Structure 1
């Protein structure tokens, strides 16, 4: 498989890596060692057209407790209890799910946007967030973190895995989009759009890259989310980024930017009991 498998380094040592798992039917999905406490998976296009209800048993969860939303590229967060209130009325509009008790799996769909899976190492609770550039500009991951903290989580207990998404080196957007996303970062507050873009392009592992076409930049959404989390106080060793690009790996991932087809792959995580 063509995904790289680097081990990122921090001053405290290596950050845990990524592994491919395979079902009995030979279908591959990706897991992150940082989320090793929780059954989880970033599923590939080989699982289409299965839904979270179909995929939940792979994580060991009940298909009756697989929760999803009608994703709308925003920062709205729901809990399973709140989703249950919509039964019979379709799925509520939102892009973040936060569990409240063990044994519930939460799911997001993506086809270039970033799927973010979160685990709380003390409470066992989890979150799943769908974050494209619009959701990232609106702080979708931060909204889910705020919900977890309101439910009793501590920031130092949270770990984050940012799954397969379109890589910054190939994701061309307008300069206006780049400015909107940059404005979500504290480091860019008070700067003009041009100043913010120049600042971010000059950073290590930059979230923005120059583009040869006038009025365009290249955007790495996952690097923006990583910086948002760091600004919230999350340690860098608590964030892992999948070494995979949906656009550049057509054998394993759907990419809307590549095909303009409305196909998705699912990512999900199962909550567990509190750790004693």
Structure 2
């Protein structure tokens, strides 16, 4: 288990060794940052910040930033802050909760400076992206369903439509459940894996995945099951788009295996989350 006292050097020796992950503290509470996004205010927050929401957490990153979130639905929808504001301005059913009144989507892409975009996760992958040239950013919620729908490439396509170039992007995948402990059905693994390998049947897809270097699937003792590394699949999607390895960082932290710092739905079966956010410049 990696604790807040772990040194930067030890984190460097974990995953994606070209990039380091740092523990930061706000009022004594720990959150993570990534060296790849050092030029942007950002954070992958821990369970210690619960039950704070973006309205509170934005003060940690940039007190003057406007903050935006969506109603995450495990899909491929990508919105801008302007589109969120437009949706919120529509007439709503007075019986709706604040959460129900949010627009459905799983990624936010900024349009101008001082916009903070947020996603929440509890085993799914929080992905924060920044553009070195345009200074715009994105926040993405990528569970297995969203990954199967290529939510990260969809968000990048939106950034590109707004002037970004692939070579200028910096992409950090935060704490999530690791492949070694994430048991899924072979059907789910094949649905996700079909985004990075090309085969006709479930068996052929799984075989092709197993043959990949640093395979995103692991064997499981239960018939019909495998272990799936969702972050690795997202990494493969990015590389197939033309994103270079040095543009990608993957956190060494596992939400399932680190209960002291992260909520995990798979572990606890509770609807509790941690937030991740980044501010455009």
CA contact (8 A) 1:7 1:16 kept: no
Could you tell me which residue of structure 1 aligns to residue 184 of structure 2? 173
CA contact (8 A) 1:29 1:43 kept: yes
Could you tell me which residue of structure 2 aligns to residue 74 of structure 1? 75
Could you tell me which residue of structure 2 aligns to residue 164 of structure 1? 175
CA contact (8 A) 2:15 2:250 kept: no
Q: Tell me the alpha carbon deviations over residues 95-125 of structure 1, each in whole angstroms, 9 at most, x when there is no partner.
A: 0000000000000000000000000000000
**CA displacement at 1:8 relative to structure 2:** 6.7
TM-score normalised to structure 1 length: 0.92
Could you tell me which residue of structure 2 aligns to residue 32 of structure 1? 34
**Cα separation, partners in 2 of 1:9 and 1:53, compared to 1, 3 Å:** closer
Count the aligned residue pairs.
265
Q: In structure 1, how many angstroms separate the alpha carbons of the residues matched to 2:166 and 2:235? A: 14
Could you tell me which residue of structure 2 aligns to residue 250 of structure 1? 259
Task: Give the alignment partner of residue 205 of structure 1, picking from 214, 220, 223.
Answer: 214
Between 1:96-105 and 1:201-210, the stretch displaced more is 201-210
Between 1:192-201 and 1:147-156, the stretch displaced more is 192-201
**In the TM superposition, what are the counterparts of 1:1-276 in structure 2 within 5 Å?**
2=2, 5-7=11-13, 15-23=18-26, 25-62=27-64, 65-87=66-88, 89=92, 90-185=101-196, 188-272=197-281
Unaligned runs of 5+ in 2: 4-9, 93-100
CA contact (8 A) 1:132 1:221 kept: yes
Q: In structure 2, how many angstroms separate the alpha carbons of the residues matched to 1:229 and 1:192? A: 24
Q: In structure 2, how many angstroms separate the alpha carbons of the residues matched to 1:229 and 1:152? A: 18
Q: In structure 1, how many angstroms separate the alpha carbons of the residues matched to 2:189 and 2:64? A: 41
Q: Tell me the alpha carbon deviations over residues 111-161 of structure 1, each in whole angstroms, 9 at most, x when there is no partner.
A: 000000000000000000001000000000010000000000000000100
CA contact (8 A) 1:209 1:219 kept: yes
Unaligned runs of 5+ in 1: none
Q: Secondary structure at the match of 1:245?
A: coil
TM-score normalised to structure 2 length: 0.91
Between 1:86-95 and 1:251-260, the stretch displaced more is 86-95
CA contact (8 A) 1:46 1:252 kept: yes
Q: Secondary structure at the match of 1:5?
A: helix
Q: In structure 1, how many angstroms separate the alpha carbons of the residues matched to 2:85 and 2:243? A: 31
**CA displacement at 1:238 relative to structure 2:** 0.4
**CA displacement at 1:7 relative to structure 2:** 4.2
**CA displacement at 1:60 relative to structure 2:** 1.2
**CA displacement at 1:245 relative to structure 2:** 0.2
**Cα separation, partners in 2 of 1:228 and 1:61, compared to 1, 3 Å:** farther
Q: In structure 2, how many angstroms separate the alpha carbons of the residues matched to 1:220 and 1:111? A: 15
**CA displacement at 1:205 relative to structure 2:** 2.3
